[in-house]
Amino acid sequence: MSRLRRAVLPAILLVTAVLLGACSAASHPAVTMSADGTAVTVPAAAWCDNPREASSCAAEPDDASLPRLALAPGTQLEISVPESVSAAPWAVVFSYRDSGGSAEGARSPIFSPGTTQSWVLKPSAGAQLTRVEVQNLTTNGVDYPAFRTWVLLVDAPIG
């Protein structure tokens, strides 16, 4: 191998590694959801770099690849987002089963950019959370489509 090839090959490998690292999901911020002393780092489930193209961004992964947490009915869940997430409008959308077993859904208020980095989800007594989704929002003048999401699935405790 010539000296030139030996000098160029490591540089090419380094540039390739940097470019691959820049494109990986690991470069996206994570949110933290915690309850009863257990914290879960939730990676981005769907990511769109351009909020104006939110409807054309890749779909989120199937439920099998999403993080999970077991919580008893009525357990509060603290949600913390990094500054980079709170720099855009954000909200928490969640699903639960009420004490009668009916599936319900609700959401937090929409938080304005830079106003808060945490929110506590306080389900009613007996309500079993099933899915919690943090959403970065944009506006198209009519509604607030999500352009980035972080999803946690919640299971009832076993036993």
Can you give the chain as a three-state secondary structure string? CCHHHHHHHHHHHHHHHHHHHHHCHHHCCCEEEEECCEEEEECEEEECCCHHHHHHCCCCCCHHHCCEEECCCCCCEEEECCHHHHCCCEEEEEEEECCCCCEEEEECCCECCCCCCEEEECCCCCCEEEEEEEEEECCCCCCCCEEEEEEEEEECCCC
Domain span at 137: 25-155
Domain assignment present for residue 3? The answer is no
Count structural domains, the chain.
1
Domain assignment present for residue 16? The answer is no
Domain assignment present for residue 40? The answer is yes
Banded pLDDT at 158 (limits 50, 70, 90): confident
How far, in Å, CA of 68 to CA of 131, rounded?
Answer: 9
pLDDT of residue 112: 95
Domain assignment present for residue 15? The answer is no
Banded pLDDT at 29 (limits 50, 70, 90): very high
pTM of the model: 0.80
